[in-house]
Amino acid sequence: MLTGGELAALIAAVVWTVLVAFLCVALVKLTRLLSETTKVVREFGERSRPLLEDVAATVERTDASLERVEEITANVATTTEDLSTMTALTRSVVTGPLVKLASFSYGVRRVMGQRKALALVRTRRRRERR
């Protein structure tokens, strides 16, 4: 039979063997996990390069488009200022003579109305005198 010390050594050896076996299984699984992770990272790197190149090209095209839009906006602002100036000029050129013409026609109508009224008064006076 086994003595107490030998039995303790045997139990310790069995526990140690189980522990080593558990660690070996864990290391094998960890190795598989690391190899799969390496594979995924490599594939991601291979796929991300063209994607990043496409993004860079898109950003460059967008920048060029924005520059064109900026030019168009500046041209529209200039055109708007020019139209505003032309409108003000047209208003001053057209409204001045129109106001004068309206004033003149109002004056003529008033004089003509007064002449008619005076003619009516004169006609009444002549009739009264008779």
pTM higher than the cut 0.75: no
Q: Is residue 42 part of a domain?
A: yes
Q: Is residue 118 part of a domain?
A: no
pLDDT above 70 coverage of the chain, percent = 99
User: Rounded to an integer, what distance in angstroms lies between the CA atom of residue 64 and that of residue 1?
Assistant: 91
Domain enclosing residue 9, as ranges: 1-95
Q: Is residue 71 part of a domain?
A: yes
Q: Is residue 106 part of a domain?
A: no
The mean per-residue pLDDT over the stretch 60-81 comes to 94
- What pLDDT score was predicted for residue 102? 84
Q: Is residue 62 part of a domain?
A: yes
Q: Into how many domains does the chain fold? A: 1
Q: Is residue 23 part of a domain?
A: yes
pLDDT in tens, 6-37: 889 999 999 999 999 999 999 999 999 999 99
Q: Is residue 105 part of a domain?
A: no
**10 within 8 A of 2, measured Cβ to Cβ:** yes
Q: Is residue 124 part of a domain?
A: no
Min mean pLDDT across 18-22, 43-47, 96-100 is at 96-100
Spatial neighbors of 2 by CB under 8 A, at least 6 apart, are 10
Q: What does the angle CA 118 – CA 121 – CA 127 come to, to the nearest 5 degrees?
A: 140
pLDDT in tens, 99-113: 888 888 888 888 888
pLDDT at 64 over 80: yes
Number of Cβ atoms within 10 Å of the Cβ of 108:
10
pLDDT above 90 coverage of the chain, percent = 55
